[in-house]
Amino acid sequence: MTDDPTRAAEPSPQARELADVPAVEVISRAAVMLMSAAAEKLGLSDPDPDESPYRDLDEARRLITALAGLVTASAEYLGPHAGPVRDGLKSLQLAFRESSAAPEEPGHGPGEKYTGPVW
């Protein structure tokens, strides 16, 4: 860093690295993070999801809805990644429905306002 106020500060190494990452990779990483977090909140990492200490369907709903919005908005940019990401999203939506004490009708579950009904 310099004391010269006329010189711009050097970007941090972390910022430079992020600037080098293609947008499709950033979107894909965000999707994978949302998927992983939703799976945890559904209790899917435990042998008995109903007994998972991390299970929180309210949180899972938010994560799945955010994932659905991201996938819908960015599908054209994901190229060959779009199919597997959509499949993962659909699996989470179905797992949510199966986990719910009072499952919503198709078209009213998490993220379905973006994806349409999931069967």
Structurally, how many domains does the chain consist of? 1
Range of the domain at 47: 22-114
* pLDDT value, residue 5: 59
* pLDDT value, residue 17: 82
Residue 107 in any domain: the answer is yes
Tell me the pTM: 0.83
Tens digits of pLDDT across the chain (119 residues): 456 656 666 666 666 688 899 999 999 999 999 999 999 999 999 999 999 999 999 999 999 999 999 999 999 999 998 999 999 999 999 999 999 988 888 899 999 999 999 98
* pLDDT value, residue 8: 61
Residue 16 in any domain: the answer is no
Residue 56: other Cβ atoms inside 10 A: 15
Residue 82 in any domain: the answer is yes
Residue 4 in any domain: the answer is no
